[in-house]
Amino acid sequence: METLQVDLKERSYPIKFGAGNLKYLGEAMAALQPIQQVKRVFVITNERVGSLYGDIVLESLKQAGFEPFYYQLPDGEEYKSLESADKLYTAAIENGLDRQSAVVALGGGVAGDLAGFVAATYLRGVFLIQVPTTLLAQVDSSVGGKVAVNHPLGKNMIGSFYQPQLVFIDVRVLNTLDLREVRAGLAEAIKYGVIRDGDLFSYLEEHLEQILALEQDALSYVIQKSCAIKAAIVAEDERENGVRILLNFGHTIGHALEALTSYRIYRHGEAVAVGMVAAAQIAVGRGLLKEEDKNRLEKLLKRAGLPTTVTIPAVEIINILPRDKKARRGKPHFVLPLALGEVDLFEDVEKDEILAAIS
């Protein structure tokens, strides 16, 4: 297994990468110094992931000397709620989860965010292990400590920054993932190429077919590179006061599309794909980005099977932008590309520019 360290002083933790390594999760946890006192482990997952990987995880934890118990929520974003958290707190209390216990988040971004939120708040915080099982969660959401549940009035409105003790990645679990989910996760990897690493972008162009076919070497390379970029950015700015905002490339318009369609039409990565093209178009309009680089981005997203245009009227998108969580004084922020591998934050993008780009 390869290891990468997220460097956050006393909150530092390893990300472990492998293929077919899920059965060694317990062993990897037992080897971690802070986890050595832990007996009770609360595994939180959903019905789908639980039916595929629950037994392997439970067996691995028992083999390593832990006493695991298990909760399966139904599958779906709507279960990333305070109501689900409440059920999980009850299960935690009933099963004797104490301060020296750990929560294992087994699943995609929904399980990771929800279980992370429970770990952050139960008894003011217990140990957290992220075991991401979607590509989106492996390249993005499991690293960096953002945990949250949704509120009926807004997504991810209730949450915290809470770093795990370990992120444990097995690329082989992606074999059972729907192709649409693979494509949506790929959007975030493409995002990492654009914001920080032109070589990663070129690699994605050259190896796209292998990645979509889940060939292990290409997939592992992309996951490790993406995690390394996220880890470096989070180490620089854990609580999003500075450079971490750059991870929002494609998200200003992306979040607007998700909100306008009530989170029912687009997977998160699909909305971000459209948002990245719109941001690139704004950058071209400002003379910041070469047209040919925007075309390369658009072409790669299309090849990955991701949407790059929408039929929603541009005014509707513009009207919802000031409601974005990250808008400052009612003005939307935009992360715009300057090249394939470099972006910057802009808070002076005018309505006309956005209109022109979306149209």
Ligand X SMILES: NC(=O)c1ccc[n+]([C@@H]2O[C@H](COP(=O)([O-])OP(=O)(O)OC[C@H]3O[C@@H](n4cnc5c(N)ncnc54)[C@H](O)[C@@H]3O)[C@@H](O)[C@H]2O)c1
177 binds ligand X (CB under 6 A): yes
Nearer to ligand X, 140 or 298 (CB): 140
Strands 2-6 and 13-18: antiparallel
Beta strands in 133-278 (DSSP E): 146-151, 154-161, 166-170
Nearest approach, Cβ of 355 to ligand X (angstroms)? Answer: 27
Round to whole Å and give the CA distance between 210 and 161: 35
108 binds ligand X (CB under 6 A): yes
Judged by CB under 6 A, the residue of 6, 25, 49, 234 near ligand X is: 49
The residues that bridge with 170 in the sheet, in sequence order, are 18
Touching ligand X, residues 265-304 (CB under 6 A): 268
Collapse the DSSP code of 151 into the 3-class scheme (helix H, G, I; strand E, B; otherwise coil) and give the result: strand
Touching ligand X, residues 6-25 (CB under 6 A): none
144 binds ligand X (CB under 6 A): yes
CB atoms within 10 A of CB 124: 7
Judged by CB under 6 A, the residue of 21, 22, 26, 46 near ligand X is: 46
The residues that bridge with 331 in the sheet, in sequence order, are 328
Judged by CB under 6 A, the residue of 140, 197, 258, 270 near ligand X is: 140
DSSP characters over 20-85 = S-GGGHHHHHHTSGGGGG--EEEEEEEHHHHHHHHHHHHHHHHHTT-EEEEEEEPSSGGGSBHHHH
Strands 166-170 and 154-161: unpaired
Round to whole Å and give the CA distance between 189 and 249: 12
156 binds ligand X (CB under 6 A): yes
Asked if residues 278 and 357 have their Cβ atoms less than 8 Å apart, the reply is: yes
137 binds ligand X (CB under 6 A): yes
107 binds ligand X (CB under 6 A): yes
97 binds ligand X (CB under 6 A): no
Judged by CB under 6 A, the residue of 11, 48, 172, 244 near ligand X is: 48
237 binds ligand X (CB under 6 A): no
176 binds ligand X (CB under 6 A): yes
Nearer to ligand X, 249 or 289 (CB): 249
161, amino acid identity: F
Q: Which stretch, 140-148, 199-207, 327-335, 346-354, contacts ligand X (CB under 6 A)?
A: 140-148
Nearest approach, Cβ of 52 to ligand X (angstroms)? Answer: 6
Dihedrals phi, psi of 179, to nearest 5 degrees: -60, -35
HSE of 105, CA atoms in CB hemisphere, 13 A: 37
Q: How many residues bind ligand X (CB under 6 A)?
A: 28
Nearer to ligand X, 54 or 108 (CB): 108
Nearest approach, Cβ of 160 to ligand X (angstroms)? Answer: 11
Q: Please list the active-site residues.
A: 124, 146, 188, 230, 240, 244, 248, 251, 255, 268
80 binds ligand X (CB under 6 A): yes
Residue number closest to ligand X, CB atom: 109
Nearer to ligand X, 272 or 289 (CB): 272
Residue 43 to residues 28, 73, 92, 166, 239: CA-CA distances in angstroms? Answer: 15, 11, 10, 14, 27
* Cβ within 8 Å of residue 159, ≥6 positions away: 113, 117, 146, 147, 148, 149
Contacting positions for ligand X (CB under 6 A): 46, 48-49, 52, 75, 77, 80, 107-111, 113, 133-134, 136-137, 140-141, 144, 146, 156, 173-174, 176-177, 181, 268
